[in-house]
Structures are given as C-alpha cells and as structure tokens.
Amino acid sequence: MVTGPAGAGRTTAIRALEDIGFEAIDNLPLRLLPALLANAPARRPIALGVDPRNRDFSAQGLADAMEELSRHAELQPQILYLDCRADVLLRRFSETRRRHPMAPAETPSDGIAREFDLLEPIRSSADILIDTSELTPHDLRAEVERLFAGRDGAPLALSVHSFSYKRGMPRGLDMVFDVRFLRNPYWVPELRGLNGTSQAVQAHVAGDPRYDDFLSRVTDLTVSLLPAYRAEGKAHLGIGFGCTGGQHRSVTLAETLGAALAQAGWQVSIRHRELERRRSGGAA
C-alpha cells in the first residue's frame, strides 16, 4: 500500500516500484480490494496506490484492509508512506499553481492541514516512511529502488525500530526483541522525562548486569544473518525492540544496535515510533 499527502511523491514512488518489477495499481478504491484478492494469486509483488481523495478512503478503512490482508498467510502487507513537511508541500503547489485536491476552492494550506489530519493515524502506523522534503524525484526513485529492489547484489537496507508493547508491534518487522527484562529508567525521577537517546538513560540501561551479554548476543546473531538475507535477495530487513512505554529501554537498544551495524558498514535507519508520535502531537 503506497499513500501519503498530495505532492509528497506517491506517483513517483509507484512508477519506481513498477519499473523494478511490481504490478502497480494506482488510485485503488478500498472497496475493490476483496475483488482483487479473489483473483488468481499474483506472480509479482503488487504496489497499490491508495489516494485519500477517493470517496471510500479513511484511516480506519485502510487499517481494516491491512488487517484483512494479514489474514492471508501467503501475503506480507506493508504500508509505504510518502511524507513531506507542510512548508515544502506548500511551495510545490505554489510552483506548479495546482489547486490542492482536498481544498479546491480554498488555499493549498487549508488542504494540506486537512489531509495531514486525515492521514496522521496512517503515518504513525506505517511500516516504511520516506520523508521526501529534501528529495528530488530522482532521489526518491533511488530510495525506493534501494528499499525494494530484489536484484542480486542490491544493498540490504536495515531499519531498527523501538516501540511500546502497549500499542502493539509495528508491521513489517522481521526480528523482534522484548527488552522489558532490563531495568527501567522510568522509576528514576531524574531520568523519567528523558528518553533512550540520552547518554544518561543509555548508561542506566547499560548498567543492568544482563545488558552486555544480551547486546553481544543480539549483535552477533544479527551480523551473522545479514549476509544470508542479502544472498536470498531480500532488500529490506526490519529489526524491532519493544518495552513498556517505548521511551527508554527499547530506544536505547535501537540506538545502540543501529550504531553498531552502521559502524560495520551496513545501511541503517533508526525509527522510534513512540517518540515520533509525541513529536507529532499523537497520543502516547
């Protein structure tokens, strides 16, 4: 599923996926998804462009569609979200003199704000997020190819995630580690308001007697498996760490493993779901 606000590059991403072998269907009404599933199994991966302008589009509708897809054992559904800052979207609409599809009789700013509100639940639950604010169309195509091309010799892109078990696991993770057994900085008053990107929090978590052995085993396991995943033609591998609140322990482990893998020469992105939700004003 490929979606995102108008002007963020959804069409460019879908065309890039089509060029690397995906069967691409753009502007698919969600009500037609059952008919698509009822047909013969696809021989190629499918990229479905989902447009917020469709009459039957809603965040809940897309969530229901993803849940339905997940019931099929042979499918591995993911949401690719094309994100972009509001000021950049406004500039793009101003340069092209296009009317915003969500506000044809109003200013583009009104349409952008309206669409952000509509898409925020989807953005928060997306499996893969690409921020196109600083990307040219050529850059975006290259990023999509890097993430999804399954050609031999293509680089294996890694994403390391932190999350809270209270909100469930993010979709699309290949390896998940529960780190709730480590001591929790939440119970230290001076650390409670900080997060796992802080050196003080990281030092506290690392002070747990079980931390070094656990981190060493996870790092060794991950590094030993990555060449095998790459040899199988896998283009993207998601690794997750979960804790109670998604603020301290899981963030610490995601930061630490991500840095270790990057130091070893792997291409790594790090995402902290709960911290991103707080920054965007979402519920904790």
The model's pLDDT over 163-216, given as tens digits with 9 standing for 90+, comes to 999 988 887 789 999 999 999 999 999 999 999 999 999 999 999 999 999 999
Chain CA centroid to CA 202, Å? 24
Domain 2-148: homologous superfamily in CATH: P-loop containing nucleotide triphosphate hydrolases (3.40.50.300)
What would the DSSP string read from start to end of 139-162? HHHHHHHHHH---TTPPPEEEEEE
Indicate whether 42 pLDDT > 70: no
Chain CA centroid to CA 264, Å? 23
Mean pLDDT of all residues belonging to the chain: 86
Q: What is the pLDDT of residue 20?
A: 79
- Please tell me the pTM assigned to this model: 0.55
Residue 153: pLDDT band with limits 50, 70, 90: very low
Bridge partner residues of 269 (DSSP): 159
Indicate whether 145 pLDDT > 90: no
- Is 24:49 a contact under the CB 8 Å cutoff? yes
The amino acid at residue 132 is T
Indicate whether 284 pLDDT > 50: no
Domain residue limits, the chain: 2-148, 157-279
Quickly count: other Cβ atoms within 10 Å of residue 227's Cβ: 10
Query: What token pair was written down for 191?
Result: 């650390």
Q: What is the rounded CA–CA span in Å between residue 146 and residue 129?
A: 13
Helices (H) and strands (E) in the chain, counts: 11, 9
Task: Render pLDDT for 59-104 as a digit per residue (tens, 0 to 9).
Answer: 888 888 888 887 777 778 889 999 999 999 988 887 777 777 777 7
Indicate whether 233 pLDDT > 80: no
Q: Which residues of 133-162 are buried (b: 16+ CB within 10 A; e: fewer)?
A: eebeeeebbebbbebbbeeeebebbbbbbb
Greatest CA span in the chain, whole angstroms? 62
